[in-house]
Amino acid sequence: MAVCEVCGNDYDMSFEVVAQGARHTFDSFECAIHRMAPICEHCGVKVVGHGVVVEGRFYCCAHCARHEHGDAPVRDSA
């Protein structure tokens, strides 16, 4: 059993995620998303899908990226 770093639940089915050399322990995908998902630089939503990255900044979609970068040639992944 391991303790979730977000909610503190000591859970027998917890799991670890290793990202950029750091090890994280969670009891649910909900907690993992809460801690690790980037936040859209325009609207503030958690980016759970592919999203769009422009100049190192994360956006939930091309629409939000264009709002921040004018006519940047961005589009959603297909």
pLDDT tens digit sequence for 30-44: 999 999 999 999 999
Q: Are 26 and 42 part of one and the same domain?
A: no
Residue 78's pLDDT band (cuts 50, 70, 90): low
Q: Give the predicted TM-score (pTM) of the model.
A: 0.78
The dihedrals phi and psi of 38, each to the nearest 5 degrees, come to -70, 160
Check whether residue 32 and residue 42 sit in a common domain: no
Residue 2 has pLDDT above 90, yes or no: yes
| Residues paired with residue 52 on neighbouring β-strands, in sequence order | 59
Phi, psi of 30 (to 5 degrees): -55, -45
* pLDDT at 21 > cutoff 60: yes
| Residue whose pair of structure tokens reads 């040639």 in the numeric block | 73
Question: Of 32, 37, 28, which Cα lies nearest the Cα of 58?
Answer: 37
Indicate if 27 and 47 belong to the same structural domain.
Answer: no
Q: What range defines the domain where residue 48 resides?
A: 38-77
The structural domain count of the chain equals 2
**What's the pLDDT band for 77 if we cut at 50, 70, 90?**
low
